[in-house]
Structure formats: C-alpha cells, structure tokens
C-alpha cells in the first residue's frame, strides 16, 4: 500500500548511498552524527510515518498544546519587563489619569508594559487570550475524550495527566491575572484570603504563611509570581510531555468504520501529512489569537486602578474558567456555626469542598466506570455518545451543573442586564443546583435512547429516499433504500455488554451464598449501564433479512 511519494524518496536514498560516502547529503551526515550518539533512527523509524486517524474533534487537544506554547513564549517575554514587587511607587508614566497615584511596582510595570513597551500590550493580550483559549480548549478536549469513552483502558493514566493539566492550568490562570495587582485582581486575592480563612483548624495559619502576615502584606505578589512562572508551568510541561508520549505510545483512538478494528489504526502518516496539518494548525491558532488580541481588549488593568483593600469596582468577576467557583460561593446560604469559642464558616467552606468534589469526580470517573463494567480489555474504537447513554447523561449532568454555577457566578450581571431580581436568580440557581443535573441526566439518557432507536430503524428499514410512490390501491409510501454495507457495519460495530450478574443465591452444594453489599451495588449499577433501559439491542443480520424479505411480499 505504499505511495508514490514514498517510493520516490526510497529510490533517492539508494541513489545517494550508491554514489558513495563522500557525496553524502549534509542532512544525512547530520542525521548519522546524531544517530551515532543518540540512536535516533529507531525512534524515527517508529514515528516518522506513524499513522494518525482523522476526525475534526482530534484537533481540540492540539489547540490546548498550541495555546500552551503561545502562553510560554509570551510569558517569557513579559517576565523581561514585569516587576513582581509590592514595593510602593508614585506613578509618573504615560497614562495621565493615574499620574501621581501611589501603586505597587507590579502594577506600575504592568502599566509600562501596556503603554511604554512597543508591542508590550499586544504580547500581554496574546498571553491573556491564549490562557482563556487554553482552559476552554482543555475543557472541550476533555469532553471529547469523555463522551467517546477514549479514557478507557489503556488510557486512564493519560486521562489523569490531562485532568491535572486542567486543574493546574486554571490555578495558574488565576495567579496570572492576580499578578498585575490592579483593583480587580486584588479583590480576587482578597477572596482567596477569605476562602483560606474558612478552613477549620488551620485556616488562619495557612493564610499567615501564604501571605507572609496579615492581608495583603508584601509577599503575595512575588510568591504568586514564582509559582505562576516557575513551579506550575514546570509541572505542567512535564505532564504535557508525558501526555504526548502516551498518545504516541498508545496510538490514537479512532471511530468505528469500514476497515477500522480494535487492532489497527487507519489514517495518514505523521510525515508529511500531519507535520503539515498539525504544524500548520499551530500557526493558525497563534494567528487567530494574535488577531483577537489586536481587536479585542482583555483585562484593561489601567481602567481598574491600583489595588486598595478598602476599594472595589462593581460586578467584580473572575476570568470565565473560575466563574463556576464564583457561582458556588454566591449561591451558598450564609451558614455559620458558632460554638465553644470557634466559628465554622460553612458558607465559604462548603463551596470550597464542593469545588474540590467537582474535580474529584472528573479524575476518578474512568476508574469508576471500569469498576462498574468490569471491563479489563483495551479499547481503541471510540463510542458514539448515544451508545453509552449513562456515561453521556452523567457528562451532560456535570456540564449542566457547571453552567448553572456559571450563571450563579454572574447573578449580578444577569440581574442588571435582564432586569431581574438578584434574589430570584440566586434562588433559582440554588434549586437548579440540585434539580438541574438530574433533569439533564434523564433528558440526555432518553435522547440517547431515541437516537439508538433511530439507528435501529435506519438499519432495518433503510434510509428515507424522499421518493414518494403511489401504490395501485391509492396508498402513498416513501421508498426506503437499503444502507450500504459500510453504513450497516458502522452503525452496529459497537458491542453491547450484558449487565453483570450476581452469582446464583445458592452455590453448587445448595448452601446459601453470601453476596456482599458492594457486589450488589455493582450489579445494580451495571444493570443501570447495560440494562434494557440504557441500550436498544442492535439489529442482527437475521432480523434485517427477515424484514427486507417481508418488504418484498408487499
């Protein structure tokens, strides 16, 4: 199945070697030099023509990778001009409204980057926009992996790496927009202080150690800087490399289709097709972000003014990816337990715990599903979301919760822009917090079942052709056309697992068997995943033959 291009290059190589060692191509010589020291040829042999399958959703991960690279490149540039210091100075820069105002060196240098360094504003905006795109792309990429079941064995560990990247990425974003020490970001740091203080027993200690004393102190910006530019990106870079190595090592997943099996991967080679497509895509992403940064202002710190703990601007909002945590904190009632000389600030601490739980469920889901299904095999063929209704329902429930909290986090904006009562919005979000995900789950699951029925119908009765035929007795019917073999195979390629069975109540000796509560729970969950209410048995060829034969008689 080799291509012409491949044959040509092969001949070319032979031609060169026949011409003698003396006339070796410079590139070849360099490669030989490197191979003699690093053994790169075995690596190249495995990867140069590595096959990657094609699907538009596979580029979502690329957006993450490229926006991360853009963040690193622009971030290094910004460190050359930024002063991560809370030392106070009087502003004498080119932005007249702030002339003579006392501010931190951090804020002053962020203003200078924006107004006095040529291109500084552009790089700052690219950095910020890329961060926004980065987190968004990670979330959407994660959804793709989740809804297609790409996290199943052998990819659970890579799911964890990706999860950690999302988690760290969000926090690094938070620290990044906190660094300029403007009025908005300072409010975010103040919020963090309150959240830390709410932790029982150790809250005040954590707060004092992190801030180097009472809020705001002089240490938090330089400390955030080190964490933001060194500690977290360093860890993320390691995770990212590991994530990519595993993608190569496992080989990419693919959707079911003719010629595609669990034992192969069908697609185009890394060199040249994906080098050009993926390499080119980096420039597309970078280009679009640069263009957006030219026309759309993000985080105009000069408009907020320097941070002062006794001042605040209205509708203070975090960056969008922290919005759901803002929602948690806003819709929580102000519960507080005061007893024995202590205060348990539940109104802040519960949201903090729920915030953590929302991440924990993401991290553990592959292991949970693996335990319920008891499936120990490798999976390289992706599920269509409709064929895994419970998983799809759970995913949509999580997204619904996320969106409800996002609305809760912007309750003031919804109130002012839509002329609604903030109390009503907050109360709606409180109720939806519990009801919304359940409804979303049920609707999604039924929707998936409907789609499964539609698939079955299509297989058995064929595709609607739009041709209307009138029968001799006057009845009008629409002519259905049989699906081609490729389509029949594609729609039935997924396997349907039977629910796990509990062992019989009595064993072979007639002795009553003890079945633990865990085993019972697992059987119940398995029935939920694979029972008749979650999967429509896919039609067999026999059913198909019967129905088509039946059609013939009419």
Partner 1 sequence: MTSQDNMSEEHLPEATHGHGGGPVVSKDGYFADPGLPPHEHRRTDIDEKAARRAERQVATWFLLSMLATVGFIASYVIFKPGPTHHVYIWPVGDVSPLNFALGVTLGISLFAIGAGAVHWARTLMSDEEHIAERHPIESSPEVREQVFADFRQGAKESGFGRRKLIRNTMIGAMAMVPLSAVVLFRDLGPLPEKKLDTTGWKAGMLLKNMNTGEPIKASDVQVGSLTFAMPQDLSEDDEDFQVRIAKDALMLVRLQPGDIKDKNSAAWGYEGVLAFSKICTHVGCPISLYEQQTHHVLCPCHQSTFDLSDGARVIFGPAGHPLPQLQIGVDSTGNLEALNGFTVPVGPGFWERSE
Q: Are 178 and 188 in contact (CB under 8 A)?
A: yes
| Contacting residue, 167, 489, 522, 528, with partner 1 by CB under 8 A | 489
Compute the least distance from the CB of residue 102 to partner 1, in Å: 7
Quote the CA–CA distance of 101 and 93 in Å, as a whole number: 10
Q: Which is nearer to partner 1, 252 or 445 (CB)?
A: 252
| Contacting residue, 488, 502, 527, 547, with partner 1 by CB under 8 A | 488
Compute the least distance from the CB of residue 84 to partner 1, in Å: 16
Question: What does the angle CA 304 – CA 318 – CA 301 come to, to the nearest 5 degrees?
Answer: 25
Quote the CA–CA distance of 34 and 37 in Å, as a whole number: 5
Question: What does the angle CA 201 – CA 191 – CA 222 come to, to the nearest 5 degrees?
Answer: 95
Quote the CA–CA distance of 321 and 131 in Å, as a whole number: 10
Quote the CA–CA distance of 450 and 394 in Å, as a whole number: 17
| Contacting residue, 486, 498, 503, 532, with partner 1 by CB under 8 A | 486
Compute the least distance from the CB of residue 192 to partner 1, in Å: 8
Quote the CA–CA distance of 311 and 305 in Å, as a whole number: 10
Compute the least distance from the CB of residue 262 to partner 1, in Å: 7
DSSP three-state, residue 27: helix
Binding piece for partner 1, criterion CB under 8 A, among 235-243, 364-372, 396-404, 544-552 = 544-552
Sign of CA dihedral 22, 24, 29, 35: negative
Compute the least distance from the CB of residue 45 to partner 1, in Å: 8
Type and span of the H or E element at 480: strand 476-481
DSSP three-state, residue 117: coil
Q: Give alpha helix (H) positions in 80-182.
A: 105-115, 120-147, 156-178
Q: Residue length, the chain?
A: 554
Q: Say whether residue 242 binds partner 1 (CB under 8 A).
A: no
Interface of this chain with partner 1, residues 243 to 282, rule: CB under 8 A: 249-251, 258-259, 261-269, 272-274, 276-277, 279-282
Q: Which is nearer to partner 1, 96 or 501 (CB)?
A: 96
Q: Which is nearer to partner 1, 199 or 443 (CB)?
A: 199
Q: Which is nearer to partner 1, 254 or 444 (CB)?
A: 254
Listed in order, strand segments (DSSP E) in 336-376 are 337-339, 342-344
Q: CB-hemisphere CA count at 13 Å for 426?
A: 12
Nearest residue to 416 (alpha-carbon basis) of 317, 325, 304: 317
Q: x/- binding map, residues 124-163, to partner 1, per CB under 8 A? A: -xx---------------------------x---------
Binding piece for partner 1, criterion CB under 8 A, among 73-81, 232-240, 310-318, 502-510 = 310-318
Interface of this chain with partner 1, residues 205 to 234, rule: CB under 8 A: 205, 207-217, 219
Q: x/- binding map, residues 403-442, to partner 1, per CB under 8 A? A: --------xx---------xx--x----------------
Binding piece for partner 1, criterion CB under 8 A, among 141-149, 344-352, 383-391, 503-511 = 344-352
Q: x/- binding map, residues 59-98, to partner 1, per CB under 8 A? A: -----------------------------------xxx--
How far, in Å, are 118, 223, 289, 505, 517 from residue 295 at the CA level? Answer: 16, 33, 10, 70, 60
Q: Say whether residue 198 binds partner 1 (CB under 8 A).
A: yes
| Contacting residue, 293, 325, 373, 452, with partner 1 by CB under 8 A | 293
Compute the least distance from the CB of residue 477 to partner 1, in Å: 21
Cβ contacts of 437 within 8 Å, gap of 6 or more:
397, 398, 400, 401
Compute the least distance from the CB of residue 137 to partner 1, in Å: 16
Q: Say whether residue 460 binds partner 1 (CB under 8 A).
A: no
DSSP code of 484?
P
Q: Say whether residue 191 binds partner 1 (CB under 8 A).
A: yes
| Contacting residue, 16, 50, 458, 463, with partner 1 by CB under 8 A | 50
Q: Say whether residue 305 binds partner 1 (CB under 8 A).
A: no
Compute the least distance from the CB of residue 355 to partner 1, in Å: 14
Question: Which two structure tokens, joined as six digits, stand for 235?
Answer: 């860890």
Type and span of the H or E element at 452: helix 422-461
Compute the least distance from the CB of residue 456 to partner 1, in Å: 12
At residue 496, φ and ψ (nearest 5 deg) are -115, 115
Q: Which is nearer to partner 1, 418 or 505 (CB)?
A: 418
Interface of this chain with partner 1, residues 349 to 388, rule: CB under 8 A: 378, 380
| Contacting residue, 44, 194, 242, 547, with partner 1 by CB under 8 A | 194
Q: Which is nearer to partner 1, 169 or 327 (CB)?
A: 327
DSSP three-state, residue 512: strand
* Count of chain residues binding partner 1 (CB under 8 A): 136
Compute the least distance from the CB of residue 517 to partner 1, in Å: 32
What Rg value do the Cα atoms of the chain yield, rounded? 30
DSSP code of 200?
T
Q: Are 465 and 479 in contact (CB under 8 A)?
A: yes
């Amino acid at each position: 199945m080799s291509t012409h291009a491949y044959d040509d290059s092969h001949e070319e190589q032979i031609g060169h070697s026949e011409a003698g060692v003396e006339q070796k191509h410079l590139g070849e010589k360099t490669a030989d030099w490197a191979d003699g020291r690093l053994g790169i040829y075995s690596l190249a042999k495995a990867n140069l023509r590595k096959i990657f399958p094609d699907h538009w959703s596979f580029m979502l991960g690329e957006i993450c990778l490229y926006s991360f690279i853009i963040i690193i490149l622009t971030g290094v540039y910004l460190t050359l001009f930024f002063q991560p210091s809370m030392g106070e100075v009087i502003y004498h820069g080119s932005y007249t409204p702030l002339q003579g105002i006392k501010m931190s060196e951090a804020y002053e240098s962020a203003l200078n980057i924006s107004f006095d360094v040529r291109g500084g504003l552009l790089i700052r905006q690219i950095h910020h926009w890329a961060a926004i795109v980065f987190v968004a792309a990670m979330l959407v990429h994660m959804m793709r992996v989740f809804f297609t079941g790409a996290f199943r064995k052998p990819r659970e560990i890579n799911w964890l790496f990706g999860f950690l990247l999302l988690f760290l990425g969000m926090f690094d974003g938070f620290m990044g927009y906190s660094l300029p020490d403007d009025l908005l970001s300072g409010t975010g740091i103040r919020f963090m202080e309150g959240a830390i203080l709410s932790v029982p027993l150790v809250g005040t200690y954590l707060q004092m150690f992190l801030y180097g004393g009472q809020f705001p102190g002089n240490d938090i910006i330089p400390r955030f800087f080190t964490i933001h530019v060194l500690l977290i990106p360093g860890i993320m870079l390691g995770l990212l490399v590991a994530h990519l190595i595993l993608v190569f090592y496992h080989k990419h997943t693919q959707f079911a289709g003719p010629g595609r099996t669990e034992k192969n991967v069908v697609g185009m080679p890394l060199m040249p097709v994906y080098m050009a497509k993926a390499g080119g895509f980096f420039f597309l992403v970078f280009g679009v972000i640069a263009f957006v940064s030219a026309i759309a202002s993000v985080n105009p710190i000069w408009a907020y003014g320097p941070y002062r703990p006794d001042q605040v601007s209205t509708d203070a909002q975090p960056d969008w990816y922290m919005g759901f945590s803002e929602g948690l904190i806003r819709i929580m009632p102000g519960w507080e337990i005061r007893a024995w000389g202590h205060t348990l600030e539940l109104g802040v601490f519960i949201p903090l715990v729920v915030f953590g739980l929302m991440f924990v469920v993401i991290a553990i889901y592959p292991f949970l599903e693996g335990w319920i299904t008891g499936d120990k095999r490798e999976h390289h063929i992706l599920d269509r979301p409709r064929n895994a209704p419970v998983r799809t329902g759970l995913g949509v429930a999580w997204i619904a919760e996320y969106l409800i909290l996002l609305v809760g986090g912007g309750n003031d904006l919804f109130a002012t822009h839509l002329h609604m009562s903030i109390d009503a919005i907050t109360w709606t979000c409180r109720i939806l917090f519990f009801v919304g995900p359940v409804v979303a789950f049920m609707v999604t699951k039924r929707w998936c079942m409907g789609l499964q029925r539609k698939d079955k119908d299509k297989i058995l009765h064929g595709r609607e052709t739009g041709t209307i035929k009138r029968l001799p007795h006057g009845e009008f019917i629409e002519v259905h056309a049989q699906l081609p073999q490729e389509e029949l195979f594609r729609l039935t390629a997924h396997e349907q697992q039977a629910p796990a069975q509990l062992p019989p109540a009595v064993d072979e000796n007639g002795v009553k068997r003890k079945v633990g509560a865990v085993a019972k729970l697992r059987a119940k969950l398995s029935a939920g995943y694979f029972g008749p209410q979650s999967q429509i048995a896919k039609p067999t060829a026999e059913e198909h033959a019967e129905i088509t034969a039946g059609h013939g008689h009419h």
